[in-house]
C-alpha cells in the first residue's frame, strides 16, 4: 500500500501536472471504483483543480465550491501519467482523468479490486474520510507521545493505526522500528521516556529520508515504481537477508496477509519473536534465540 513518502511524491508530480488546470473528462471503467457520487462526476468536468492534499493515505483533488475527488489506492492501486487521451489498460485499468497536460490513469493489480473513488461536497463530507491520526512529520514530541500511549498497542499496531498516526503502514513501520532499535511487539504504554523519544525521532528521520530519497529518484518524472519493497530498506521485505547494521539475518512474523520484519540482534536483544503459525506447529521446538535457530539449521 502506498504510504506517506510514496503519496508525497505522487502529490509532487500531480501538482506539477494538474494544479491550476481543468479536469476535462473522467472516464470510469470499473464499477467497483466509484463509491459516492454527490455531486456526480459530470459536475467536475471542466472544473479547475485548485488544490491537492493528502488525508491519511488518501489523495484529494480540490475544486471550486468545496468539491473534492478522494482516491484511496489501498494495497495495489497506482497512478500512471500518460499522453492526453490514453486509455486505461484492459485488465488493470480503473479510470482515466483527462487534463490539457496529459491523462492520469488509475490502475490496480490483482483480482481484489479495493481502490476507491469518492466524489464529495463540503469540508465536513471530506472530514468523514479522515481517520483522525496525527501527521507524524507535523506533530510535536508531546503530541506524538499522547497518540502513541492513548491505547496499549504493540508498537507495530500503534504506528499503523490510522486513528493514531496518519500515513504509516506495514512497510515504513518496519523501517521506523528498526531505526529506533525497538521491538515491534513492545507495548506502547510500557515504553520509558528514552524509548518514546527514540521512536519519535526515528519516525521523523525515516519518513524524511525516504521522501528525500524518492524525490531524488523520481526527479522531474512521474513516480512509476511505487512499491513497498525496495533494496535500500533495512528490514521490510528482507527476511533472511543480513541486517545492514549488524549483519544478523532479518526475521519475520507472519499474520494473515501481513508480514513484520525485524532484526533480533538490533531490536529484541537476540530473542526470536514467535510467528503465530509456526510457533503453534513447533510448540516446544520453537527456537527462542538466534543461536538456537542457527544450531537447528546446522543440525
The domain tally of the chain equals 2
106 with 170, same domain: the answer is no
pLDDT at 277: 52
Q: Say if 135 falls within a structural domain.
A: no
- Rounded to whole angstroms, the Cα distance separating 173 from 19 reads 31
Calculated CA dihedral for residues 80, 83, 89, 94, nearest 10 degrees: 60
User: For residue range 177-234, what is the model confidence (pLDDT) as tens digits?
Assistant: 999 999 999 999 999 999 999 999 999 999 999 999 999 999 999 999 999 999 999 9
Indicate whether 91 and 66 sit together in one domain: yes
Mean pLDDT in residue range 69-95? 96
Domain range enclosing 41: 4-127
**Domain co-membership, 96 together with 12:** yes
Q: Are 226 and 6 in contact (CB under 8 A)?
A: yes
- Quickly state the pLDDT bin for 292 (edges 50, 70, 90): low
* Residue 82 within a domain: yes
Nearest partner of 251 among 276, 265, 233, judged by Cα: 265
Is 60 exceeded by the pLDDT of residue 284? no
Q: Are 143 and 159 in contact (CB under 8 A)?
A: no
Residue 153 falls within a domain, yes or no?
yes
Based on the fold, state whether residues 273 and 190 are members of the same structural domain.
yes
Final residue in a domain of this structure, among 63, 95, 127: 127
Q: What is the rounded distance in angstroms from the CA atom of residue 49 to the CA atom of residue 68?
A: 9
Domain shared by 113 and 158, yes or no? no
Strands ordered across the beta sheet of 58-63: 34-38, 116-121, 67-72, 58-63, 51-55
When pLDDT is averaged across residues 89-115 and rounded to a whole number, the result is: 94
Look at residue 256 and tell me whether its pLDDT is greater than 90: no
For residue 223, the tally of other CB atoms under 10 A from its CB is 22
Q: Is residue 107 part of a domain?
A: yes
* Of 73, 96, 127, the domain-final residue: 127
Q: Are residues 12 and 123 in the same domain?
A: yes
151 and 28 both lie in a single domain: no
Torsion of CA 280, 285, 286, 292, to 10 degrees: -170
Q: Which secondary-structure segment (H or E) carries 166?
A: none
What string of H, E and C letters represents the secondary structure of 182-208? CCCCCEHHHCCHHHHHHHHHHHHHHHH
Closest residue by Cα to residue 5 from 161, 205, 187, 184: 205
288 plus 174 within the same structural domain: yes
CA geometry: angle at 222 spanning 220 and 224, to 5°? 135
273 and 177 in one domain? yes
Is there a domain that residue 134 lies in? Answer: no
**pLDDT band at 61; cut points 50, 70, 90:** very high
Q: Which pLDDT band, with edges at 50, 70 and 90, does 255 fall under?
A: confident
Say yes or no: 117 and 148 in one domain: no
Please report, for the domain that includes residue 104, its CATH number. Answer: 3.20.190.10
Whether residue 228 is found in the same domain as residue 274 = yes
The answer to whether the beta carbons of residues 62 and 52 sit under 8 Å apart is yes
Q: How far apart are CA 232 and CA 235, in angstroms?
A: 9
Is residue 282 scored above 80 in pLDDT? no
Please give the pLDDT value at position 279.
Answer: 47
What does the pLDDT read at residue 299? 42
- Which candidate, 171, 207, 199, 158, places its Cα nearest to that of 54? 207
In a domain, 133, yes or no: no
Look at residue 132 and tell me if it is in a domain: no
Separation between Cα atoms, residue 214 and residue 291, nearest integer Å: 37
Report the C-alpha gap between 185 and 177 in whole angstroms. 10
Greater model confidence, 286 or 119: 119
> Same domain for 146 and 263?
yes
Q: What percent of the chain has pLDDT over 90?
A: 85
Domain boundary residue, one of 99, 127, 155: 127
**What is the domain-level CATH number for residue 271?**
1.10.8.50
Amino acid at each position: 500500500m502506498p504510504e506517506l513518502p510514496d503519496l508525497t511524491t505522487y502529490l509532487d508530480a500531480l501538482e506539477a501536472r494538474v494544479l491550476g488546470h481543468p479536469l476535462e473528462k473522467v472516464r470510469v471503467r470499473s464499477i467497483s471504483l466509484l463509491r459516492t457520487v454527490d455531486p456526480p462526476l459530470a459536475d467536475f468536468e471542466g472544473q479547475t483543480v485548485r488544490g491537492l492534499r493528502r488525508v491519511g493515505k488518501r489523495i484529494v483533488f480540490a475544486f471550486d465550491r468545496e468539491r473534492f475527488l478522494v482516491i484511496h489506492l489501498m494495497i495495489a492501486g497506482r497512478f500512471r501519467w500518460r499522453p492526453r487521451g490514453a486509455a486505461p489498460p484492459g485488465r488493470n485499468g480503473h479510470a482515466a482523468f483527462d487534463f490539457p497536460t496529459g491523462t492520469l490513469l488509475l490502475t490496480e493489480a490483482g483480482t481484489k479490486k479495493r481502490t476507491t473513488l469518492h466524489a464529495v461536497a463540503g469540508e465536513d463530507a471530506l472530514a468523514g474520510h479522515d481517520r483522525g491520526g496525527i501527521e507524524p512529520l507535523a506533530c510535536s514530541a508531546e503530541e506524538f507521545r499522547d497518540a502513541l500511549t492513548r491505547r496499549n498497542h504493540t508498537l507495530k499496531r500503534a504506528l499503523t493505526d490510522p486513528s493514531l498516526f496518519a500515513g504509516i503502514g506495514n512497510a515504513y513501520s518496519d523501517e521506523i522500528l528498526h531505526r529506533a532499535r525497538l521491538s515491534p511487539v513492545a507495548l506502547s504504554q510500557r515504553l520509558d521516556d528514552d524509548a518514546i523519544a527514540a521512536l519519535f525521532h526515528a519516525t521523523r528521520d525515516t519518513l524524511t529520508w525516504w521522501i528525500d530519497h524518492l524525490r531524488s529518484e523520481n526527479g522531474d518524472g512521474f513516480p512509476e515504481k511505487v512499491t513497498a519493497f525496495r533494496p535500500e530498506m533495512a528490514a521490510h521485505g528482507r527476511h533472511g537477508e543480513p541486517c545492514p547494521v549488524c549483519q544478523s539475518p532479518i526475521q519475520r512474523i507472519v499474520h494473515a496477509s501481513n508480514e513484520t520484519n525485524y532484526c533480533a540482534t538490533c531490536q529484541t536483544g537476540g530473542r526470536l519473536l514467535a510467528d503465530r503459525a509456526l510457533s503453534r506447529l513447533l510448540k516446544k521446538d520453537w527456537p527462542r534465540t538466534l543461536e538456537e535457530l542457527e544450531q537447528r539449521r546446522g543440525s
